[in-house]
Structures are given as structure tokens and as C-alpha cells.
């Protein structure tokens, strides 16, 4: 198991895959922060005063994380941040599904508990966290612009 | 070191996000005006609402109007969702399928020729859905003067324990 987790090539592929996903995910949010703010509002989880600030900052966090993962700079901090973000996304989606809020198409149907889109996103994030956890526990340091030596 | 890196990324993201917003064509205010959504504490008002919009009402006002039988409730969702579960006695005017021409005549016919000042409440699924808002704006534009929007919609109605009318199967 340890050999798989530390496999340099596998770690590189995961870094590229997760990195590109984060960059892609940040793109439309950076282009249209107003629409993203509304999406956050739909979750009913964040105080109203903070929604726009989160909508402006979070996409850039995602973009920088994606770039840092691919390049291998600020690496350990990026990996921790990516894991925290994925856990937050999973919790947000889970509470949304439990409360029966339709975040996908805005067309709640009485009697239904959640939309297919929320479930799909949750499954995607649950798969994603397997990869991000691998990055967290892997000791591979190859193909990075900056090596990481974590002392704390 | 990890903490330092995390803080570096967040600070950099904040500088970029907040700074670029100043010059962005899609600029938004730094502090949004969003009303917290708590059922029963008054009307839910969506972020895209503007001051010219018809008034937003809470579930308590919608319930009172329903009991007084003085108001036309309009479900703005598509037929399948309307049949799956709606406020009893509502009529269905799916906003997504409004005709392009003669909209005024269409509204007059759909509302059974009621006077333009007859009270109307539009609604859809709930706070995730803005069809009720768009329909209400159109009704107002075509001269209906007493239009209100129950943005909590069928979901808040059902959560409050009010009866739902189900006319058909609920699809996926």
C-alpha cells in the first residue's frame, strides 16, 4: 500500500488531474462572481454578509491551488488546503441533500429529497478525496519546482 | 511551514480576487445584501430582487390569503412539477413555456378574465427557484397591480405542514 501511495508517477498523475480539475472549477466562478455568489446563497449555509467575499476569494484559492499542485510549489500547504476544501464541499453537499435543497436546476419537486446533480457532485467529491488524501500521505517529492521539507 | 504556505495562498487569493473585482466588468459589491433564510420569519427575498419588483410575502401571509380564498395562486413551474405537488387550488402558468406573442391576452385567458387588481400570488419550488419572480414581473408589466411573490414556494408551504394537492406522478 505504501509503495502505491508513494509511487512517483501515480502522484504526478494525481497532481495533474486534481490540479486541472481545480483550475477548471475556478474558471467560471472567476469570470462571473455574481452567479457564483448566488450559488453559495442557494446552499443556505453562509451568513449573507460573507457570501460575496467568499465568491470573490474562493475561486482564486482554487486556481492557485490547482497551479501550485501542478508546479509543485508551496506544495504541502496546497495539499492541506485542497483536502480542507474537498471536505468542506462534501459537507456542504451532504447537508444540501439531507435538507432536500435542489441546487442543480432550481426545480424542487415535492416529495423528493435531493437532485441527481447534488448526488453526482457528492460522488465526484468522494472520489476526489481519495486522490487528495493520497497526496497528503505520499512522500513522493519528484517532479516538483520546489521540494518540501515539512518540519511541523 | 504548512500554516505559512496555507496563509500565503489565501492572502494571495484575497489580493487577486478583491483587487481584480475593482476593475472587472462583472464586479460585485464586497458585502452582499442577502437575507438569511429562516422559514416563518418573514418573506424570503432573493438576491436578484430589485425595488420595483412586486412585494415578497412570507408563508404566514400566503396561508392567510389561502384561507380567505380571495387570491389566485399561480404555480410557475412546469406541468410535471405542478402535478407532483402544489398549493391546493393553484393554477399552472409555467414561466418557461410562456408564448412569445400576445402574452397579455394569454395572461387574461389563463386568469379567467379576472380584474387586473385581483390579488395574485406567484410561487414555484422554493428559494432555489426564481420562476415565480420572473412570472410576477411579467404579470406586473402586463398591468396586474396586486401581484405578490411567495418565494418560499411549495417547499416552505409543505414544511409548514400545509396540505399539498397532488394531481399526478412525480417524475425524476
**Per-residue pLDDT at A29 exceeds 80:** yes
Put simply, the answer to whether A48 touches B33 (Cβ < 8 Å) is: yes
Nearest residue in chain A measured CA to CA from B7:
A77
Report if residue A144 sits inside a domain: no
Report if residue A23 sits inside a domain: yes
Q: What is the pLDDT of residue A103?
A: 56
Report if residue A148 sits inside a domain: no
Q: If we measure between CA atoms, which residue out of A34, A98, A97, A50 comes closest to residue B31?
A: A50
Interatomic CA distance for residues A35 and A41, integer angstroms: 10
| Percent of chain B at pLDDT exceeding 90 | 52
Report if residue A142 sits inside a domain: no
Q: What is the pLDDT of residue B172?
A: 56
Q: Which domain holds residue A133?
A: 2-137
Number of domains in chain A: 1
Report if residue A119 sits inside a domain: yes
Nearest residue in chain B measured CA to CA from A66:
B9
| Percent of chain B at pLDDT exceeding 70 | 93
Nearest to A38 among B36, B47, B166 (CB): B47
Interatomic CA distance for residues B121 and B148, integer angstroms: 5
Q: Nearest 10 degrees: CA dihedral of B150, B113, B108, B86?
A: 30
Report if residue A152 sits inside a domain: no
Interatomic CA distance for residues B128 and B108, integer angstroms: 28
Q: What is the pLDDT of residue B61?
A: 87
Report if residue A147 sits inside a domain: no
Residue showing cell 433564510: B37
State residue A108 phi and psi, 5-degree precision. -55, 135
Q: If we measure between CA atoms, which residue out of B56, B127, B130 comes closest to residue A44?
A: B127
Q: What is the pLDDT of residues A44-86, one digit of tens each?
A: 788 888 989 999 999 999 999 999 999 999 999 999 999 999 9
Q: What is the pLDDT of residues B94-151, one digit of tens each?
A: 998 998 888 999 999 999 888 899 999 999 988 778 899 999 999 999 999 999 999 9
Interatomic CA distance for residues A105 and A133, integer angstroms: 31
Report if residue A29 sits inside a domain: yes
Put simply, the answer to whether B36 touches A47 (Cβ < 8 Å) is: yes
All cell numbers assigned to B127: 428559494
Amino acid at each position: 500500500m505504501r509503495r502505491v501511495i508513494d509511487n512517483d508517477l501515480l502522484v504526478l498523475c494525481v497532481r495533474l488531474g486534481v490540479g486541472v480539475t481545480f483550475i477548471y472549477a475556478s474558471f467560471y466562478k472567476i469570470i462571473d462572481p455574481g452567479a457564483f455568489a448566488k450559488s453559495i446563497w442557494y446552499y443556505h449555509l453562509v451568513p449573507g454578509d460573507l457570501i460575496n467575499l467568499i465568491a470573490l476569494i474562493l475561486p482564486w484559492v482554487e486556481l492557485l491551488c490547482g497551479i501550485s499542485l501542478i508546479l509543485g510549489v508551496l506544495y504541502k500547504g496546497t495539499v492541506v488546503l485542497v483536502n480542507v476544501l474537498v471536505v468542506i464541499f462534501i459537507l456542504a453537499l451532504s447537508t444540501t441533500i439531507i435538507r432536500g435543497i435542489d441546487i442543480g436546476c432550481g426545480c424542487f419537486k415535492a416529495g423528493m429529497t435531493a437532485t441527481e446533480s447534488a448526488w453526482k457532485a457528492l460522488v465526484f467529491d468522494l472520489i476526489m478525496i481519495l486522490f487528495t488524501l493520497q497526496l497528503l500521505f505520499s512522500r513522493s517529492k519528484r517532479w516538483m519546482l520546489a521540494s518540501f521539507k515539512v518540519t511541523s | 511551514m504548512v500554516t505559512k504556505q496555507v496563509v500565503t495562498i489565501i492572502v494571495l487569493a484575497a489580493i487577486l480576487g478583491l483587487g481584480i473585482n475593482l476593475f472587472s466588468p462583472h464586479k460585485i459589491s464586497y458585502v452582499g445584501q442577502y437575507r438569511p433564510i429562516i422559514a416563518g420569519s418573514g418573506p424570503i427575498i432573493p438576491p436578484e430582487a430589485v425595488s420595483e419588483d412586486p412585494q415578497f410575502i412570507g408563508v404566514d401571509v400566503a396561508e392567510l390569503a389561502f384561507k380567505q380564498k380571495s387570491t389566485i395562486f399561480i404555480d410557475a413551474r412546469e406541468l410535471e412539477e405542478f402535478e407532483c405537488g402544489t398549493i391546493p387550488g393553484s393554477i399552472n402558468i409555467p414561466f418557461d413555456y410562456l408564448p412569445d406573442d400576445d402574452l397579455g391576452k394569454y395572461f387574461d385567458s389563463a386568469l379567467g378574465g379576472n380584474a387586473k387588481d385581483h390579488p395574485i400570488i406567484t410561487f414555484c419550488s422554493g428559494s432555489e427557484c426564481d420562476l415565480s419572480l420572473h412570472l410576477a414581473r411579467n404579470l406586473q408589466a402586463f398591468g396586474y397591480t396586486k401581484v405578490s411573490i411567495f418565494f418560499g414556494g411549495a417547499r416552505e408551504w409543505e414544511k409548514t405542514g400545509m396540505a399539498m394537492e397532488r394531481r399526478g406522478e412525480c417524475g425524476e
